[in-house]
Structure 1
Amino acid sequence: MPKTILSLLLVACSFFSTAQTAVPDKIVDALDSFSFIRPQEKAYLQTDRNGYVAGESIWFKTYTLLNERPTILSKVIYVDLVNQEGSIVEKKMLKLKNGTASGVMDLKTDIPAGAYQLRCYTLWMLNFPDFIFVKQVSIFSNTKNDKATNNAVAAATLKLSFFPEGGSLVAGVKSTVAFKALDAGGNPVSVNGDIINTKNEKVATFKSVHDGMGNFEFTPLTGETYKAVVQTGPGTSKDVPLPASKNEGIVLSADNSSAGKIFIKVTRAEKNKDKYNNLLLVAQLNYQVAYVGKLNMDEGLDAAAINKKNFPSGILQITVLTEAGQPLAERLVFISNYNPGNPLLQATTTDLDKRKKNVWVLDAAGFSDLQAAVSITNAGSGNGQYAPGILSSFLLSSDLKGNIHEPGYYFKDKEPETLQHLDLLMMVHGWRRYNLEEIMANRFPPLHYPFETGLSITGKVMQSNGKSVLKDGKINLVIRGEDSTRIMAEGKTNESSVFVVSDLEFRKSAAVYYQGTNVSKNEAIVSVKIDSAYFDTLARTAPNDVLMANTVSVPLLEKMASEKATTDTGKSKTLREVVLRAKKRSVADSLNLLYASDLFFNSDQTLTLNPNINYYDMWQFLRMNVPGIAINQTDTGTQVNFSRYQGIELFSENTTDNSVQFFLNEVAVNISLIESLDPSDVAMVKVYKGNTGIALGAIRGAIAIYTTKGKSTRDWRQKGFDFFNRSGYSANREFYEMDYSKVKQETVDQDIRTTLYWNPEIKVKDGKAIIEFYNDDVCKKYKVVVEGMDKNGRLLHAEKEVQ
């Protein structure tokens, strides 16, 4: 427990006798037990933007917290792209390091237009589905006849909900009632109307003040019922009943408008008032009891002031309980003790002219080991003014039920109006972390998924009948990764015949050869059962219907999609995110269709190895088949370049470093791995020069080598090995940064990049991070967004626009 919260709690509890502290102690023990047995991770996914054209790439970085610090439990995170039917159209599995991971998701050129969801989560988080991070992205088609679908229902269907402060209306007690109005698509709607009793008398009026939310005060009477009459149009209205009032009980109200304190007031009804004389007031924040106080209504002790200055930022749950620990009323308030990040981000050079350099500086002196990413995008590319951010996700959305419209709005500043709207949000959204009554009774949700500390292979080695336990079982594994990883491992069974082979690491996929044995009886026949991997079985999920309701209109992307549909033929030097996919696929190139993804499909040469020639190594094959290649082998290593290729000097004004980038099965690899490659394992070689190389982030050219699918130079099955395929960590690549100090401008006909710059690993030196990028040909307004967290869990969100 943080020292500041613990000290405040000890002071508050000092006013209680031993008997009176039984309930607070029970709450503390229940929260400690729950957070220990059911620790809840949170995830956030930062993307370069929120709108894309089919065929583009989604660049992203994930952040995962456990108890408000980078997680130390899960080491694997998943990112899914889900369509409106719940089908997973793209998925990534990444290795977490210091709670973060970065990657890229390439959208297929024929992906249907519409609203999609990106989900980000660890396997452990599947035990708590409410904590899975979800955000909407809009995808626009580059096919003329493919229009974005829209599932929105007519806005005339109004849903109006009322939320009495504290949870209930009580007859004879003045109450504040918050409300929220939504259309059928889940979008906020402005409303106004009157509160009417059964005598058709107006007792209150109401009007929304922000995103369909507002509040009003009134005093319900015993035996009376009330309804809201909402104006839905000229001369039309709709009646909505208010929650029924109780004949006895309490009303809890909270005033969070002060900078330093939260003022609490409890009022009881006259009926059976003695039942509500001695009460407990408990406030909890991040599984920690932050305040405990005693109320005695007869003695006038019906209010409290909670000092919040030293509290961490987040949602404070305030509960009034009976002496026996029965909750009576609850209120959520938000602690806004975070430091705004915008002052930390300052421009030193801004220039919106074509292809001009811009420089920004981030002051990171207040962060310890900052892990941060920066995205710089054309401001018209669909990021949204108040899109979800790392602050709104970790501090707000992850702890509240339901969809929050434009959550970034509540962190744009700390002006009184913004904080007032945030307080309204607290009143109309439910708490999702836990139910206090449930955990005090030790009723915890069941667990179905473990923490993942890395890639692993699990299963059972049984006796030959496949049923009887084998205590002395063992499995031998030979793993041949698509990235040329070679792993030999073994695992022994426990008393339940279960084996676990963990801490594996390979990318893309691997062929896993296995053989089970009985340690005591080597010749005995055994039965092996391999458990399926979650990632390999992932195909469908339940989409968030509210987020799927609408496709956001982004004129810039719609225009780009339309232009691409019209001009997407032949060769093109137009840079759209510097990922060029303008060539039409050749049906005759069956190997290219079989092996190459969209990103790698277009190349200057596609080569196959002649089976009648026994090549000594890959260098021999490349020398014989690639014009203009220079392979220089020395005692210090091998260097490969295209310096003899005609026109290659156009790619760089500095030709001192002109090494070719190698990819093995589309994974960037070191040249030493190519040297050890057996040519007989190679199915295809693709050569990239000029713009095709730039598309891969290799301005000095690239060579992609593909090994034969399913082929192994040594067939382990001949020695009694069976095999299966298993997915590894998703391959990643660097964002290509257009640097006009290295690329001659005349070599690029047109530069149109919706994402001007993306860097998932900002480098901090002497407390500063320098961010440099070049503008494209069309951008007249761009947005800079920096997000991250440090090793202590301090969050950063800084956002600036230039026009």
Structure 2
Amino acid sequence: MLCYLPAYSQNSTPTVSENKTVSDNLAEQLQSLSKNNASDLVYLQTSKGIYETEEDLWFKGYVLDAQNFTPSARNKILFVQLIADKTDKAVWENKYEIENGFVNGHLFLQDTLQEGTYTLAAYSSASYTRNTNEFYAVKKLEILKTINHKAIVNPVAKDSILQFTTFPEGGNLVSGIQGTLGFKAVNSKGIPVNVSATLYENNKPLLDFKSSHAGMGSLIFTPDANKEYHIQLTEPKSKEQFSITHIYQNGKVLQLLRNTKEALTFKVSQSAALNPEIIYLRFQVRGVVYSIASGLLKKELTIKIPLNDIPQGIAEVTLFGANTEPLAERLVYVNQDQKLNIKTELDKSNYNTRDKASLKIKVTDENGQPVMAHLGLSVYDKLYQNQQDSKNILTHYFLSTQLKGNIYNPAYYFDEKNKDRQEALNLLLLTQGWRSYVWEEFNLKELGNIRTIVFDDLKAKVNLKKADAKTKELQPQGITIFSADEKKGTDLLMADETGAFTITPNDLKKGEGGYIYLKLLAPPESNYHIGFKDFSFEEINKERKIKTVLYPISAVLETKKEVLSTLPDRPGINKLKEVLITSKKKKVFRDKYIGKLDSLARVMQFTNDFYCTSTNYLNCPRCKDGCCPGTRAKPVEGGEYVDTSQYTQVSPCGPYLNDDSKVLVYHYYSNLTEAELLSKFNIVMFKGYYGKKVFYEPIYDEVTINDSSPDYRNTIFWKPDIITNEQGEATVDFFCSDINTVFLGNIEGVSGDGLLGVGNFEFTVRKNAN
């Protein structure tokens, strides 16, 4: 007997209200934990996978709610780093504005970067916390000086170490009850190893089996607790005997019978020696409980869980006993068709160089209904595709961020060309083991409440320059905030009675592409100054050293394979050597506002220079040592003094080794460092948002199409903010370059209600294609 809120006539059986109370408690205890962990997940889409130095790296950041995958409004700042994997040091770090859950960003790859693998990493207040040991918001990239025209995938070296692990379905094998035993074989690098093996019972062969996908597989048998079992591999052949997990004399077993679009069907069995018992089966996806079934279990009980209105993703099904103790657990993947279907149609399949291409985009849901979606599109030379990177928006949100551990080639499970993908996905979840699901109740308890690392609001304070100083001066409370761009104006911030004030994300817009300045509204001789430093990236780096970066394990390409375009007449590019422009001036300030301060310092005669009244020496070394009879005085503009810049002494207060007197005419100039200038004017400087840049798109008409200047763009289109209309449609146009090659189009996106999707297309460009 089974129902969701069953009624029973016997007094010993729980009533409807009692069952409802238990069900409510089981739901509430999980959902209250997930509420405490309200967070975001960040995904980075880049314009391609392989870059050359002196190129722009374009990226789109998706900042989505961790539970429902809708664009999040929790945070306004995305902190981004480019990290060299070889040294694990950031070679670039800046802040970008999050606008309605999305970031449109870029960075320039300096020619000083060494060739190798780099990690583009992104952090926000609600996605990068101290609670978790894992970090997902990264994109692996290859950066080269010049791309190899014959990129060869090196064969993977053979690994003699093999790890073979078994996983009972639901968690336990029980004597006398037929059960499913999943298994997984990998080498020491986590690469799957396909195996054939035999299950032995009391040293006699019982069952032959083999892996069916990526070193994973399953076998069904009825264990006996009074017998001994082991597994021996026949391919690759091994003398090692692998034991299976413990077999319980009595217990309950949870088995998945069917997984369809309409429902999940489970069978719950228990040993004959156990008394009938009310059991509960809780079904949850990403911390949201969608149903709890209950029933009286005698020997076997079949339970069907409807999947109407359930979102795509990993679901956890947990079996509870009458006392709500967890007895078994099973991860399943549901509603894989519930996604954005992105269809693309080009006006041609082959283009001439510099041709105009028109692309129509149509987005629908699983029922064929049009969907308004926010899409990112890149069109690039196939040579710059990283074939070994199997990460996309689907694998990131549906698998990598939901399971603990690195997943081998997750894109396989979302490629509709793979007819066995659903069976393979079932094996993946069967062999993950207990508590691998990040939304599992025990994991949520371990996480506790969110502990933030970086913040959107930056804290600052007006302090005394010397902490122990005594002053009758009233603490200034006014602070002006501005940038070098006078058009952006000046705003006023007010400190509270303790001197504390806040810099908001909106304030960072003033310094977009440059620096922001805070000036204390106080006289120059004030004993107060602004105490402020942005420690965001320092905190990120500290935490980064103790977190494990989880990234899909690349699919192994077993044979050498050229990724060069089939068209051999790719134009060569001769790069000019870098030209460095230098100045004869002693200092070059980074911001034009600092230049203004430097000029102002000259007018105000801010200088550390002095002359000795007895010797007329400018910056007299003996005066500095305190052994000159003369006194120090500030030099006069246009005055004549003896230049001592080349004087050296045998010892302090000793004679000069070279005292060739040279008289100079003194002119005031600021010889203060940048930090000294800011301190003199009681100003603090920090970075605003990194500046936005428009992707370059040439337009070829009857005149410009014959322009002799070569067009060697390998990324010919990048648009991270395509929004489809109410009919789910959008059209974009772009122009081909002079490169004869196959171009790839990659499109990814999300809808307002959390549907995700990817789309791909390709076309050929060659001269005189028509």
Query: Would you say same fold, with TM above 0.5?
Result: yes
Pairwise CA distance, 1:476:
3.7
Give runs of aligned pairs for residues 727-742 of structure 1, distance below 5 A: 727-741=687-701
Q: Could you report, residue by residue, the CA deviation over 1:411-458 in whole angstroms, capped at 9, with x for unpaired residues?
A: 22297622111111222235343341465xx66525331784x4x330
Report the secondary structure of 2:693's partner residue. coil
Indicate how the Cα distance of structure 1 residues 787 and 802 shifts in structure 2: closer, same or farther if over 3 A, else same. Answer: same
Distance 1:545 1:363 in 2: 33
Q: What SS class does the counterpart of residue 90 from structure 1 fall into?
A: strand
2:410 equivalent in structure 1:
407
CA contact (8 A) 1:150 1:549 kept: no
CA contact (8 A) 2:400 2:550 kept: no
Cα distance, 1:88 vs structure 2: 2.0
Paired letter, 2:312: S
- Per-residue deviation, 1:330: 0.8
**Percent sequence identity over matched residues?**
21
2:86 maps to 1:82: no
SS at match of 1:118: strand
Q: Which residue of 1 aligns with 2:714?
A: 754
Q: Specify which of 109, 123, 128 is matched with residue 126 of structure 1.
A: 128
CA change 1:406–1:444 in 2 (3 A) is closer
Q: Is 2:560 the counterpart of 1:533?
A: no
Q: What letter corresponds to residue 431 of structure 2 in structure 1? A: V
CA 239–93 in structure 1, closer or farther in 2 if over 3 Å, else same: farther
1:457 is aligned to 2:462: no
Query: 1:162, 1:242 within 8 Å by CA — same for their partners in 2?
Result: yes
Distance across 2 between alignment mates of 1:256 and 1:148 = 43
Give the conservation status (yes or no) of the 8 Å contact 2:81–2:121: yes
Cα distance change on mapping 1:238 and 1:756 into 2, 3 Å:
farther
Task: Name the aligned partner's letter for residue 356 of structure 1.
Answer: D
**Corresponding residue for residue 398 of structure 1:** 401
User: 8 Å contact 2:454–2:536 — kept in the other structure?
Assistant: no
Structure 1 distance, partners of 2:424, 2:580, is 58
Report if the CA contact (8 A) 1:462-1:526 is conserved: yes
* Distance in 2, Cα, partners of 1:135 & 1:360: 27
Q: Does 1:489 align with 2:492?
A: yes
Q: 1:219 aligns with which of 204, 209, 222?
A: 222
Gap regions ≥5 residues in structure 2: 8-14, 600-669, 765-770
1:94 to 1:215, Cα distance in 2 relative to 1, 3 A: same
Which amino acid in 1 is paired with 2:287? Answer: Y
Residues 560-581 of structure 1: CA deviation (Å, up to 9, x unaligned):
9xx99xx87xxx4xxxxxxxxx
1:374 to partner: Cα distance? 0.7
Secondary structure of the structure 1 residue equivalent to 2:128? helix
State the shift of 1:249 in Å. Answer: 2.2
Q: Determine the structure 1 residue equivalent to 2:284.
A: 284
Judging changes above 3 Å, is the alpha-carbon distance between structure 1 residues 231 and 545 closer, same or farther for their aligned structure 2 residues?
A: farther
Paired residue secondary structure (1:55): coil
Out of 537, 544, 549, the residue aligned to residue 544 of structure 1 is 549
Structure 1 residues 435 and 802 mapped into 2: Cα distance closer, same or farther (>3 Å)? same
Equivalent residue runs for 1:636-651 within 5 Å: none
Of 769-778 and 283-292, deviating more is 769-778
Distance 2:373 2:361 in 1: 11
In structure 2, the CA distance between the partners of 1:443 and 1:343, relative to structure 1 (3 Å rule), is closer
Q: Contact (CA 8 Å) 2:530, 2:683: kept in 1 or not?
A: no
Deviation at 1:71, TM superposition (A): 0.6
DSSP-derived class of the 1:89 partner:
strand
Matches within 5 A, 1:306-705: 306-339=305-338, 341-342=340-341, 344-364=343-363, 370-384=373-387, 387-413=390-416, 417-429=420-432, 431-437=436-442, 444-449=447-452, 452=455, 454=456, 456-461=457-462, 466=467, 475-481=477-483, 485-493=488-496, 498-502=500-504, 503-504=506-507, 505=509, 506-515=511-520, 529-530=531-532, 532-535=534-537, 538-539=540-541, 541-542=544-545, 544=549, 555-556=562-563, 572=574, 582-587=575-580, 589=582
Q: Tell me the CA shift for residue 25 of structure 1.
A: 1.6
1:106 is matched with which residue: 102, 108, 130?
108
Does residue 771 (structure 1) correspond to residue 732 (structure 2)? The answer is yes
CA shift, 1:325, in A, is 2.0
What is the match of residue 639 of structure 2?
Answer: none
Task: Describe the SS at the equivalent of 1:309.
Answer: coil
| Equivalent position SS for 1:23 | helix
Query: For the Cα contact (< 8 Å) 2:39–2:127, is it kept in 1?
Result: yes
Which letter does structure 2 place at the counterpart of 1:784?
Answer: G
Structure 1 residues 175 and 717: alpha-carbon distance in aligned structure 2, compared to 1, 3 A threshold: same
Contact 1:380 1:555 (8 Å CA) reproduced: no
How many Å separate the matches in 2 of 1:525 and 1:161? 68
Report deviation, 1:223: 4.5
The 3 A distance-change label for structure 1 pair 547 and 280 is closer
1:227–1:239 Cα contact (<8 Å) kept: yes
Equivalent residue number for residue 653 of structure 2: none
The total of aligned residue pairs comes to: 652
CA distance in 1, matches of 2:587, 2:740: 38
Corresponding residue number in structure 1 for 2:52? 53
User: For residues 461 and 343 of structure 1, do their structure 2 counterparts lie closer, same or farther at Cα, with a shift above 3 Å needed?
Assistant: closer
1:295 touches 1:301 (CA, 8 Å); kept in 2? no
Q: Please give the alpha-carbon distance, in whole angstroms, between the structure 2 residues aligned to 1:108 and 1:550.
A: 30
Is the contact made by 1:152 and 1:185 (CA closer than 8 Å) also made in structure 2?
A: no
Report the CA distance shift for 1:348/1:732 in structure 2 as closer, same or farther (over 3 A): same
In the TM superposition, residue 772 of structure 1 has moved relative to its aligned partner by 2.2
| 2:268 matched residue in structure 1 | 266
Structure 1: state its 5+ residue gaps: 1-8, 518-522, 573-581, 598-607, 613-707
Contact 1:516 1:528 in 2 (8 A): no
2:142 is aligned, of 138, 142, 158, to 138
Paired residues of 1:342 and 1:800 also in contact (CA < 8 A): no
Among candidates 191, 194, 197, match of residue 198 of structure 2: 194
Contact 2:400 2:551 in 1 (8 A): no
- For residues 511 and 259 of structure 1, what CA distance do their matches in structure 2 show? 54
CA displacement, residues 444-480 of structure 1 (integer Å, 9 cap, x when unaligned): 525331784x4x3303456788599xxx976543344
| Cross-structure match for 1:26 | 25
Is the CA contact 1:474–1:491 (under 8 Å) kept in the aligned structure 2? no
In the other structure, the counterpart of 1:658 is none
Confirm whether residue 12 of structure 1 aligns to residue 17 of structure 2. Answer: no
Q: Provide, for residues 373-411 of structure 1, a one-character-per-residue CA deviation record: whole Å limited to 9, x for no partner.
A: 111123342243883222222222211111222222222
CA contact (8 A) 1:507 1:729 kept: yes
Q: CA deviation at 1:760?
A: 1.1
CA distance in 2, matches of 1:258, 1:459: 57
SS in 1 for 2:425: helix
Contact 2:176–2:271 (Cα < 8 Å) also in 1: yes
Q: 1:94 aligns with which of 87, 93, 96?
A: 96
1:717, distance to aligned residue in structure 2 (A): 4.8
Tell me the residue number matched to 1:579: none
SS at match of 2:255: strand
Q: What secondary structure, in the 3-state scheme, does the structure 2 residue paired with 1:27 have? A: helix
Instruction: Supply the distance in 1 between the matched residues of 2:707 and 2:584 (Cα, whole angstroms).
Output: 31
Alignment of 1:709-748 (within 5 A): 717-718=679-680, 721-723=682-684, 725-741=685-701, 744-748=704-708
Secondary structure at the residue paired with 1:391? Answer: helix
With the length of structure 2 as denominator, give the TM-score of the two structures.
0.74
Q: Distance in 1 between matches of 2:153 and 2:518?
A: 45
Secondary structure at the aligned position of 2:407 is classed as coil
Q: Is the 8 A contact 2:458 2:503 kept in 1?
A: yes
Distance 1:184 1:394 in 2: 27
Aligned residues of 1:55 and 1:109 also touching (Cα < 8 A): yes
Matches of 1:512 and 1:207, distance apart in 2: 66
Distance in 1 between residues matched to 2:399 and 2:74, nearest whole Å: 23
1:295 offset after TM fit, Å? 3.1
Measured in 2, the distance between the counterparts of 1:159 and 1:190 equals 12
